[in-house]
Amino acid sequence: MRGTLRTALTALVFVAVGVSAAAATSRIKDLANIEGIRQNQLIGYGLVVGLDGTGDTLNNTPFTKQSLQAMLERLGVNIRGQQIRTGNVAAVMVTANLPPFATQGTRIDVTASAMGDAKSLAGGTLLVTPLLGADGNVYAVAQGSLSIGGFQAQGQAASITRGVPTVGELPNGAIIEREIDFSLNSMGQLRLALRNPDFTTAKRIAVAINDYMGMPVAQPLDPSTVQLTIPKKLHENVVELLTDIEQLQVEPDEAAKIVIDERSGVIVIGRDVRVSTVAVAQGNLTVTISESPQVSQPAPLSRGRTTVVPRTRVGVQEEGRKLALVHEGVSLQQIVDGLNALGIGPRDLITILEAIKAAGAIQADIEVM
């Protein structure tokens, strides 16, 4: 059991966030997003051709067959009612992200993912595929050769697959056809959306902006939003104003929290976690079973038989009979040192933290993933 604990301790990933007494400051750019400046997801349905027999089985994927027939009909080829047998075509879903302020004619990356029973998209070419936004409008058109990161090889009795050969990338594979209108310079007010909502952080951001501007232009509306009123003299140069504001340094605040992932044994303890005076004891039960079979020989000239007689020895020992005293208001480093002094593994540490929380001795939230 002791060896198991040592192995578990070695595998433990223990992340102590902000152990130092003074918290580091961060740029407003890293703490908040500007509302309205965001990416938009695009999606489309298309066909990949030119595969080396690794495409969809048309009898098993009727949508691929129908799409192939419809495409050929648009090109003047009528194959309705004809038997089609080809393994060089695959139906794919094409996805992409439309960046903010993307202009018409620029290119973006796209990803093609097989929908049917295709084995690989290696060597394939994506045909013209319109990419639609959530409003149903076409914002980009994708076409080009796929780049596959994985591969598949097989023989009659064995096969090997590395990566995911049914997903391909098209770097700069789509051309933007429609722009999303967003006139930044015409806006009189902007809102900053905090990535980690917190009342104190929102107030500190507003104070930092007001100190920089020399006037009350920023106001926290809630834990996740700071409203910024653009001065009239800067209405035509909002970009320069936001560039300066993004670089302002703010010390973010955070709630005292302990995050536990029981599946992997990862424990994350926040900087502001504090405990009341509590005593912690941890003990493990070690059970040792040893087998020493003995051979039993019959007496000479007797009718007995040679047999093996089992001999089992069972021992029970309780280890780790230690009692650690954790004083009130100790720091994170002292908590870690005190618990590590018990020589416990991550699973036992999770149990101890939950038990201390149940006793009301931890001033923090425990989140179990």
Q: How do residues 23-59 score in pLDDT, each as one tens digit?
A: 578 999 999 998 888 899 999 999 999 998 989 998 8
What is residue 1's predicted lDDT score, i.e. its pLDDT? Answer: 41
160 and 47 within one domain: yes
What gap in Å lies between CA 2 and CA 9, rounded to an integer? 11
**Residue 156 belongs to what domain range?**
40-176
262 and 192 within one domain: no
338 and 263 within one domain: yes
Tell me the mean pLDDT per 10 residues along the chain, length 369. 38 38 77 89 96 90 90 86 85 95 93 93 94 95 89 65 84 94 81 92 95 93 93 81 92 85 79 74 56 70 71 58 58 65 70 79 80
What is residue 6's predicted lDDT score, i.e. its pLDDT? Answer: 40
91 and 137 within one domain: yes
210 and 314 within one domain: no
What is residue 13's predicted lDDT score, i.e. its pLDDT? Answer: 36
What is residue 313's predicted lDDT score, i.e. its pLDDT? Answer: 67
What gap in Å lies between CA 165 and CA 335, rounded to an integer? 48
193 and 162 within one domain: no
Q: Domain tally for the chain?
A: 3
What is residue 99's predicted lDDT score, i.e. its pLDDT? Answer: 93
225 and 315 within one domain: no
Q: Which of 122, 146, 176 delimits the end of a domain?
A: 176
What is residue 115's predicted lDDT score, i.e. its pLDDT? Answer: 93
Which spans in 85-237 are helix H? 199-213
What gap in Å lies between CA 46 and CA 138, rounded to an integer? 14
What is residue 104's predicted lDDT score, i.e. its pLDDT? Answer: 93
Which spans in 230-287 are helix H? 238-246
